[in-house]
């Protein structure tokens, strides 16, 4: 089995390779990789042109995963994702033709532009790692990860993701705008390449990723740190700005991705700082704000940041 130290070395090499394509986003890329190492899915919610699609494709190349992209549109049907049965005249029988869900890493581009029926087909694949077509179930091979993108400001022609589907994303990550030096570096690299496409070298393969994911199970968690995760999730439910707070699944996700974050950082134990680093992307999208506050600047992020400021973290003495 891959040790946390070996897993950390591979993870850092993956991040180094992805950064050759996506400039200046190491903290966000670390969160995305942590979610993948934890075996989960990621929602990349940010403005157009910030490298969301490039990041997804780069991770697939560096991790050696089969990559498929599905453009979510209002007329996208569930069968366009899952696949369908087609009649084979030579065999005189119906055969199953797999859809883009049968891959290692799926980019669900603009996921909020497709109707709920199609989103539900994706939900089964994300949660159960299987698809059901005409009553027959087909398992998805591991590893299987979804990196979905969404535009946070466009509402016309979009279908808000239901809470159940948002809850299936381990993290919601923002890339953010680059600073002036980083933006110039993007332009400089484009001129140096002499072409539009970016190629990232492969670091591991699918089996290697599964071994890194297995290393997460050897990361220890002090009971005080585990209770800290529980306290953070519970505090979102009692916050005065919250209509619905994080479910226990949120606390579980927080602990799981904190263990993966520790592996990426090269440690075989979780610290409160790991939990704090992943708390906003792990919990903010699981929180529903009170309706009377929708026109204010209160968000799931602000609630989690408030909770982080009020829930006491375990001290070094307590962790011993």
Q: Grade residue 153 by pLDDT with cuts at 50, 70 and 90.
A: low
Q: Which of 76, 79, 56 is nearest to 68 (CA)?
A: 56
CA angle 19, 276, 252 (to 5 degrees): 100
| Model confidence pLDDT, tens digit, residues 30-65 | 999 999 999 999 999 888 888 888 999 999 999 999
Q: Which of 126, 136, 206 is CA-nearest to residue 166? A: 126
- The predicted model gives 220-246 an average pLDDT of 93
- pTM of structure: 0.91
Tell me the pLDDT tens digit for each residue of 92-134. Answer: 888 889 999 999 999 999 888 888 888 888 888 998 999 988 8
Alpha-carbon distance 84 to 197, whole Å? 32
Residue 315 CB contacts under 8 Å (≥ 6 apart), including other chains: none
Domains and CATH numbers, the chain: 1-218 (3.40.50.300), 219-320 (1.10.8.80)
Res 316 pLDDT > 70 = no
**165-192, pLDDT tens digit by residue?**
788 899 999 988 889 999 999 999 989 8
Cβ neighbour number for residue 298 with a 10 Å cutoff: 18
Cβ atoms of 10 and 264 closer than 8 Å = no
């Amino acid at each position: 089995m891959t040790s946390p130290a070996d897993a950390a070395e591979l993870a850092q090499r993956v991040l180094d390779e992805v950064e050759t394509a996506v400039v200046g986003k190491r903290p966000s890329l670390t969160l995305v990789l942590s979610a993948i190492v934890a075996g989960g899915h990621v929602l990349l919610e940010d403005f157009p042109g910030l490298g969301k699609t490039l990041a997804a494709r780069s991770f697939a190349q560096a991790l050696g995963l089969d990559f498929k992209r599905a453009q979510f549109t209002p007329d996208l049907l569930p069968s366009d994702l899952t696949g369908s049965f087609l009649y084979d005249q030579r065999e005189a029988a119906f055969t199953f033709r797999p859809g883009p869900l049968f891959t290692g890493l799926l980019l669900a581009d603009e996921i909020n532009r497709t109707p709920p029926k199609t989103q539900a087909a994706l939900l089964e694949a994300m949660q159960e790692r299987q698809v059901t077509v005409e009553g027959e179930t087909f398992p998805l091979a591991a590893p299987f990860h979804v990196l979905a993108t969404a535009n946070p400001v466009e509402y016309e022609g979009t279908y808000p993701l239901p809470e159940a589907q948002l809850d299936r994303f381990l993290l919601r990550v923002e890339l953010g705008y680059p600073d002036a030096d980083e933006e110039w570096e993007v332009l400089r690299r484009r001129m140096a390449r002499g072409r539009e496409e970016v190629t990232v070298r492969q670091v591991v393969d699918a089996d290697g990723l599964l071994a890194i994911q297995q290393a997460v199970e050897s990361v220890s968690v002090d009971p005080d740190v585990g209770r800290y995760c529980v306290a953070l999730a519970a505090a979102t439910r009692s916050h005065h700005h919250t209509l619905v707070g994080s479910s226990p699944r949120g606390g579980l996700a927080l602990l799981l991705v904190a263990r993966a974050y520790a592996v990426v950082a090269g440690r075989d134990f979780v610290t409160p700082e790991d939990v704090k680093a992943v708390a906003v992307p792990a919990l903010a999208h699981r929180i529903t704000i009170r309706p009377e506050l929708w026109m204010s600047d209160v968000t799931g992020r602000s609630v989690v940041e408030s909770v982080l400021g009020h829930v006491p973290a375990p001290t070094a003495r307590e962790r011993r």
